[in-house]
Amino acid sequence: MAVPKVVFTLKEVAEYLNVHPDTIRRYVKRGELPAFKIGTDWRFNKESIDRWRKAQEERCRRALRSRRHPPKADAQKPKKRPTSG
């Protein structure tokens, strides 16, 4: 029986997330993706990557929900008073 992989290389995490390795490097450089180094090589804990991915999915869901239900324009604008004259 094969032991499940718990630590990925940069190339493996790129394949796992279906993105280019340069995208992974960019996320790591910005501090957006959890990673650690062994010598000069980046490594990624599968559990941490899965948590990060779920958080990204939730952010996308919230953003989509807020776009579908924007605040009503009438509720934000004060009503104009009729002018006499």
The domain segmentation of the chain, as residue ranges, is 7-67
Q: Tell whether the model's pLDDT for residue 81 goes beyond 90.
A: no
Q: Per DSSP, what are the bridge partners of residue 41? A: 38
Task: Give CA angle at 52 (5, 13), nearest 5°.
Answer: 40
- Predicted pLDDT of residue 3: 74
Q: Which fold has domain 7-67?
A: Multidrug-efflux Transporter Regulator; Chain: A; Domain 2 (1.10.1660)
Q: What is the pLDDT of residues 10-48, one digit of tens each?
A: 999 999 999 999 999 999 999 999 999 999 999 999 999
d(CA 45, CA 7): 5
Q: Tell whether the model's pLDDT for residue 52 goes beyond 80.
A: yes
